[in-house]
Chains A and B, each alone.
Chain A
Amino acid sequence: MPAPSLVNYVTKRPWLHKLLQPVANWYTNASLYRQMGLRADDLICEEDADVLKALGRLSPKESYDRIYRIRRATQLSLQQKILPKNEWTKPEEDVPYLSPILKAIEAEAKEKEALDTLVPAKGH
């Protein structure tokens, strides 16, 4: 169960979105994953059937790059270091590559659940 989120509420209101964007940028930087060369989607917890299925649907290149980023980050964490500044993940590189697949899988499961629990309309 994901934590409650106000993302949709905020993105629907441009003025609010604009107002909060600098705060979001500050928060992302402060969480330090970009300094370790990771992307936001690398942080999604793997111990989940849906996520494992989504990982299986990545292209070989995406999958390889993901493992590389995670191993590099693990090594950095071990050494108590961060990457040199030119190797940090740039904001434009930090694109969601896993969450769209995950969303599709969740939608499939939801659709299946809905179809499994259909109730025939009375009078038919």
Chain B
Amino acid sequence: MICRSALSRGSKLALGHQGARGFAAAASPKASYEPTTIAGVKVASRDDNGPTTRLAVVAKAGTRYEPLPGLTVGLEEFAYKNTNKRSALRINREAELLGGQLTAYHTREALVLQASFLREDLPYFTELLAEVVSQTRYTTHEFHEEVKDIIHQKQAKLDASAVALDAAHSVAFHSGLGAPLYPTSSTPIDSYLNEHAVADFAAAAYSKPNIAVVADGASEHGLQKWIEPFFKSVPAQGSGSLNTAGSKYHGGEQRISAVGQNAVVIAFPGASLGASSPETAVLAGLLGGESTIKWSPGFSLLSQAAAPGAQAQATNYAYSDAGLLAIQIRGQSNAVKKTAEAAVKALKSVAESGVSQEVLVKAIAKAKFTLLSGSEVGGVGLVHAGANLIHGGSPLKITETLKTFESVTGDKLKAAAKALLEGKASVASVGDLHVLPFAEDLGLRV
């Protein structure tokens, strides 16, 4: 039968029992970023000789490092504003004329200034990023006329799932990683966030030890040539200090009432960036969530557990010294409640009776795909490469990590799930608290 033969061939490929070279192996030469240092600036680059380039400055200025609340978002919104050399308008119009795209975004650990452009425009955008990093003026009128407005607009867009994920981080890590990724409109940041505080934070964060330049699709020669002259103006030592306390997992529960939307996050200690714990990645793949194929909920435990009207997804949020394996559920309150109960039940069944070999193969394949596609598109690999450099690690070695995934067995997965359930969970519920369950009712220890 066609189906069976196709399936068995696929699983053999996934298990790597065949001697044939897989696609991952063929793609591996370009898959990893190569770290170097150019004129005191940490650089990670890879070049596939494509027509476009992505160049990013990854700074150690994510929310865990901000000394006062709200400074990271302030610094993010001040990206590409007036500098000593040119105006914000000119920066935008020139980038448009060259067909480039400028973005600034942040994670909990890193602030990323990213430019995507045509390969031959490398000198222009290298100069631009260096200028933004070292010569932005942080003017009062831009703060009042533009930055504040944008922050308020983005706060208005925050939904229950974002608030729940922030709350789960907050109970899991307290300060540092527990700082909200985006402060909500009820977070009192006005007394901390002003243009002077942002300028001080920039002086501390935008210095050579705290930034990394990540280039995807730029020639080694071009980087060597242009980074040195343009990044000369970046200070070798930052002034002021960042909040660099280490992370410790606490666990706990938080419940926030909100109107209209419901979200529950059930989180456990996960794998950090450098840690080699393939079980966590495979467990995240096994829990899964949104179906990746059409016309079927898929094999993953969460997509089967999700009640109609709710979506569930498991992700391992990996940071430099900690990780959080989070199951995020959102939707209508009753459906969210049912899904949360079913998700915990599914995890318990893994801890007690393990999983079948077939499901394990699928979960490993899913984890592999997530890793590879994540490092290929969407800038995720770019941020990881940069974050690893500024934290003193080396960029993710894709091929090696893939091999460790294959070593995961059913027993290891079972043990990992058991360890999670025995430890303390971090549970956050946002929405209709009359319906949403307490962690204890779900059968979790907090």
Contact = CB atoms under 8 A, between A and B. Distances in A.
Interface of A: 56-57, 59, 108, 111-112, 115, 118
A112 B86 CA distance: 12
B434 interface: no
A33 B90 CA distance: 40
Contacts of B141: 56-57
A14 to B, nearest CB: 30
B385 to A, nearest CB: 35
Contacts of A111: 87, 89-90
Contacts of A118: 97
A115 B90 contact: yes
Nearest to B92: A115
A96 B153 CA distance: 36
Contacts of B87: 108, 111
A59 B144 CA distance: 11
B93 interface: yes
B185 interface: no
Interface of B: 87, 89-90, 93, 97, 140-141, 144-145
Contacts, number: 17
A112 B91 CA distance: 12
Nearest to B97: A118
Contact of A108 (B89, B93, B97, B140): B89
A57 B93 contact: no
A93 B234 CA distance: 38
The 4 A-B pairs with the shortest beta carbon distances in the complex, nearest first, are: A57-B141, A115-B93, A112-B89, A111-B87
Contacts of A115: 89-90, 93
Interface centre among A56, A108, A115 (most CB of B within 10 A): A115
Contacts of A59: 140
Considering residues A57, A59, A118, which has the most beta carbons from chain B within 10 angstroms of its beta carbon? A57
A59 B139 CA distance: 12
A50 to B, nearest CB: 13
A92 to B, nearest CB: 25
B137 to A, nearest CB: 11
Contacts of A57: 140-141, 144
B171 to A, nearest CB: 39
A56 B142 CA distance: 12
A108 B145 CA distance: 14
Nearest to B96: A115
B195 to A, nearest CB: 12
A106 to B, nearest CB: 13
Contacts of B90: 111, 115
